[in-house]
Chains A and B, each alone.
Chain A
Amino acid sequence: MNPVTSIGLSTAPTCPSACGRRVWERLKGFVSLASRLSTPRLASQEQVRKAEPSLLDRERSIAPSGYSRWLVPPAALAIHLCIGQVYSFSVFKIPLTQLLGVNKSLPGDWKQTQVAWIFSLAIVMLGLSAAVFGRWLEKAGPRKAMFAAAVCFALGFYVSYFGVATHQLWLIYLGYGFIGGTGLGLGYISPVSTLIKWFPDRPGLATGMAIMGFGGGAMIGSPLGIQLMAHFHSAQDTGVGKTFLVMGTMYFLLMMFGVFTIRVPRDGWKLENWTPSEKPQALITTHNVDVDTAFGTKQFWLLWIVLCTNVTAGIGILEQASPMIQELFKGTIGPLAAGGFVGLLSLFNMAGRFLWSSASDYLGRKQTYFVFFVLGAVLYLVLPRTGGDHLNSVILFVSIAVILISMYGGGFATMPAYLGDLFGTYHVSAIHGRILTAWSVAGVLGPVLVNYMRDYQIEHGVDHAGAYQTTLFVMSGLLVVGCIANLMVRPVPQKYWLPSVPEHSDYNLEPQRSH
């Protein structure tokens, strides 16, 4: 086929030169026309591209019609299951101290005390990044924040791989501790607001599901890390570096599932077949408080004390679970059984996050914390009496310990809904981020308190089993302080309320609950 005729140009067969000129002119005209037509279109596409929100923007994550809110909890879980890995970091502790010797530590290998800083730094960064980036998160939306969390968390593993490969500890501090820790904070708070908005009828259940994932993350991270290291282990390699690479990639992919599954409700969305309670409830507001304003309220700091005391007391058990059960039941409980006890505590820590938080939807947040503090204070007093020198009941000891640890987990998971009740849903993720600094403080305070008191007593002649008694009594006292703080919580005064919700805010800010 003649290419000229094929594009629809007429030809004059009798005059080749004139024909050629005409074809040339036509082609030029065609190109010119095409250029004129395409140039403005390309320009407008460019403009459209500029104006169009990116895939990660809040506008692109608004739920389409028919979207089910039950897709949001798995999206949040995908993030929390990954970042919860931080609590299983201890599986890398010994291998990291044997990088040169492979099966034993050599003089040039890192010390356990040096390696321990990696976890501490990650937890400190969790609290700091949650506090610092909370406001940005509210503006950027959950998808962008979750993406940033995934990038930071995976990057942390990759940088740590280079730290292992080059035997540079500072690279692991930077990678897993600083960069990965930033991802932890961002990931922890990113789905909170969204969950509370999708579940106005059951905010406790919704946030409980996500925060339960953080507890579950350690259960995945620990066997995964151990099995991967065993797989990559060789005579020349501990397998830690390659494990970091694989885990970073796996976690990134799972977090991406969360990133692209999460959706925010469209403006004006209302839950079908649900009407807010007509009965006024003093501690559940229909108003919103800005994060900076909330930071200056008495209520914020009371809840900060509530979280800090609850977490410190829980750490009192977690920190010494294994030696405590062995020393209280000398001759009955061995190291392997004690390891089983630690596993059982992890299960109840995770279950408590979901169960207590869900129960708080019915009990009320203040009442739920009241149970934590009163029941907890009593149980901490009873716990040392179950030991070999007194009641000598392992079953009773284990039963009390799992209830206490379930309330520790419950305290974490119920907090976002408590904050949502008091300050509204507008900046709840950001406020939650700031209150997590209480966790950072408790993370340092708890172990220091427990270890210092224990060492002090042993130095002064108290036997190992007896040394736990004073420690647990102090934990009980801490819970009394938390109880007082919780009882002092009152509704946020009107002067702190936002007069109206700012435009272009992250979420639909129609109050979804009245009273």
Chain B
Amino acid sequence: MADIGKHSWKVAIFFAWLVVGVPFAWGVYNTLLSSVQLFDPAQTQVGSK
């Protein structure tokens, strides 16, 4: 029974992190996409500097 309880908490932790992790990852991904423009040779000449 204790094992079942422990397992349930692990599942709860997984889903709890999933609930916040998915939007968080989506936000980070979008920001990374926009950040890439700083290193885009079409937008900047960073590589040549």
Residue ranges of A at the interface with B (Cβ–Cβ < 8 Å): 66-68, 70-71, 74-75, 77-78, 81, 213, 216-223, 254, 257, 261, 332-334, 336-344, 346-347, 350, 392-395, 398
Contact = CB atoms under 8 A, between A and B. Distances in A.
B49 A343 contact: no
Given A340-B34, A341-B38, A394-B44, 15 more contacts: A68-B10, A74-B17, A216-B27, A218-B27, A333-B43, A333-B44, A334-B43, A336-B40, A337-B43, A343-B31, A347-B28, A347-B32, A395-B46, A395-B49, A398-B38
In order of increasing CB-CB distance, the 8 nearest A-B pairs are A219-B27, A340-B38, A340-B37, A220-B27, A343-B34, A337-B43, A343-B35, A74-B16
A332 B27 contact: no
Q: What's the dominant secondary structure at chain B's contact region?
A: helix
B41 to A, nearest CB: 10
A331 to B, nearest CB: 8
9 contacts: A66-B2, A74-B16, A74-B21, A78-B20, A213-B20, A254-B19, A340-B36, A340-B38, A394-B49
Contacts of A392: 49
A378 B6 CA distance: 50
Contacts of B34: 339-340, 342-343
B37 A337 contact: yes
A70 B40 contact: no
A482 B6 CA distance: 47
Contacts of B6: 66
Contacts of B10: 68
A337 B32 contact: no
B19 A257 contact: yes
A182 to B, nearest CB: 23
B49 to A, nearest CB: 5
A385 to B, nearest CB: 15
Contact of A220 (B5, B26, B38, B43): B26
A343 B45 CA distance: 18
A334 B36 CA distance: 13
Contacts of B27: 81, 216-223
Contact of B31 (A67, A77, A346): A346
Contacts of A220: 23-24, 26-27
A228 B10 CA distance: 35
A125 B32 CA distance: 31
B9 A67 contact: yes
A223 B38 CA distance: 18
B13 A70 contact: yes
A291 to B, nearest CB: 29
Q: What's the dominant secondary structure at chain A's contact region?
A: helix
A393 B23 CA distance: 35
A299 B30 CA distance: 41
A216 B45 CA distance: 29
B16 to A, nearest CB: 4
A190 to B, nearest CB: 16
Contacts of B44: 332-334, 337, 394
Given A332-B46, A395-B49, A337 B30 contact: no
Contact of A340 (B13, B24, B39): B39
Nearest to A227: B30
Contacts of B12: 68, 71
A194 to B, nearest CB: 15
Contact of A336 (B13, B23, B24, B43): B43
Given A71-B13, A74-B17, A392-B49, A339 B23 contact: no
A219 B43 contact: no
B37 A216 contact: no
Contact of B30 (A74, A222, A254, A341): A222
A328 to B, nearest CB: 12
Contacts of A340: 34-40, 43
Most buried by B among A220, A337, A342: A337
B38 A344 contact: yes
A68 B46 contact: no
Contacts of B17: 74
B42 to A, nearest CB: 9
Contacts of B19: 74, 78, 254, 257
Most buried by A among B13, B45, B49: B49
Nearest to A218: B27
B28 to A, nearest CB: 6
Contacts of A338: 38
B46 A261 contact: no
B48 to A, nearest CB: 9
Given A66-B5, A395-B46, A223 B30 contact: yes
Given A74-B16, A78-B19, A393-B49, A219 B37 contact: no
A345 to B, nearest CB: 9
Contacts of A342: 34
A84 B16 CA distance: 19
A231 B9 CA distance: 39
B43 to A, nearest CB: 4
